[in-house]
């Protein structure tokens, strides 16, 4: 199974996203979280009385650097914004779930899509089944059933999300085709989905390398508030593997 670490670069600074699969080191322009750091922090993510997420322990107590801890705090701000907007909710242990508002929003996005877009998303079957039957939501996960190898799926986490792209969608990204339409069905926040589409396009070569088996890819995404001077969220792919 192929495995690649991305540079965690803001999506709107697309020229800094590595163009080669050999570019594994973090960018000096943005903080990053490695999978091992995420694993260290996850047991200490909890929920306040207002429903927002926070880290129970200090950086030293968790065993991470101050920079990593700061990045984690930034990602929590974005997760808490999704909670505040009513798209996500968290229980007392910090476990995230998708809300009815999230479901209603993505269903509306599906209904607004053109027939061609729906066909591309595999939302139409021969029998023209109801669209909602193709959209499966369980806890923090939304999955789109498709006729292609692999799945299109988003799994929400405290640091952002894990994004699954099936073979067809990953191939589109590798070919430079914008997949904002697909992402708008998976992600209800339009700014995040559009900026993420740009970030993935810039990393098309890396996605292609990890999709050589034709099963699709899994990408860990950090989501954080805008950097100073920007109005766009920081959406950073940090890790990728084949499905």
* Domain locations in the chain as residue ranges: 3-22+30-124+135-242
228: left (phi over 0), alpha (psi -120 to 50) or beta: beta
pLDDT score, position 52: 96
pLDDT score, position 119: 60
DSSP 231: S
* Contact by Cβ (8 Å): 185, 193: no
The rounded distance, in Å, linking the Cα atoms of 182 and 197 is 9
pLDDT score, position 128: 40
- Three-point CA angle 238, 118, 220, nearest 5°: 10
Q: Work out the number of other CB atoms within 10 angstroms of the CB of residue 111.
A: 11
DSSP 6: P
Nearest residue to 71 (alpha-carbon basis) of 234, 240, 241, 193: 234
Residues lower than pLDDT 70 in the chain:
1-31, 113-134, 145-148
Q: Dump pLDDT digits (tens) for 77-113.
A: 999 999 999 999 999 889 999 999 998 888 787 777 6
Reduce the DSSP state of residue 226 to 3 states and report it: coil
- Three-point CA angle 110, 207, 109, nearest 5°: 10
Instruction: Report the C-alpha dihedral over residues 14, 16, 21, 26, rounded to 10 degrees.
Output: -120
pLDDT score, position 53: 97
pLDDT score, position 120: 57
Q: What's the sign of the alpha-carbon dihedral 62, 64, 69, 75? A: negative
pLDDT score, position 182: 79
């Amino acid at each position: 199974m192929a495995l690649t670490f991305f540079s965690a670069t803001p999506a709107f600074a697309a020229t800094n996203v590595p163009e080669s699969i050999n570019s594994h080191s973090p960018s000096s322009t943005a903080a990053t979280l490695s999978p091992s750091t995420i694993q260290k922090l996850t047991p200490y993510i909890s929920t306040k009385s207002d429903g927002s997420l926070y880290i129970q322990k200090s950086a030293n107590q968790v065993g991470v650097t101050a920079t990593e801890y700061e990045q984690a705090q930034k990602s929590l701000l974005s997760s808490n914004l999704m909670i505040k907007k009513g798209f996500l909710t968290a229980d007392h242990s910090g476990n995230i779930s998708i809300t009815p508002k999230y479901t209603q929003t993505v269903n509306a996005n599906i209904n607004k899509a053109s027939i061609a877009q729906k066909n591309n998303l595999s939302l139409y079957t021969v029998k023209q089944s109801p669209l909602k039957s193709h959209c499966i939501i369980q806890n923090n996960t939304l999955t789109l059933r498709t006729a292609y190898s692999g799945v299109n799926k988003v799994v929400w986490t405290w640091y952002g999300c894990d994004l699954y792209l099936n073979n067809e969608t990953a191939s589109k990204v590798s070919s430079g085709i914008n997949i904002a339409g697909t992402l708008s069905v998976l992600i209800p926040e339009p700014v995040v989905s559009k900026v993420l589409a740009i970030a993935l396009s810039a990393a098309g070569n890396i996605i292609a390398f990890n999709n050589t088996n034709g099963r699709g890819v899994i990408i860990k995404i950090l989501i954080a508030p805008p950097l100073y001077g920007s109005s766009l969220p920081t959406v950073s792919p940090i890790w990728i593997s084949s499905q």
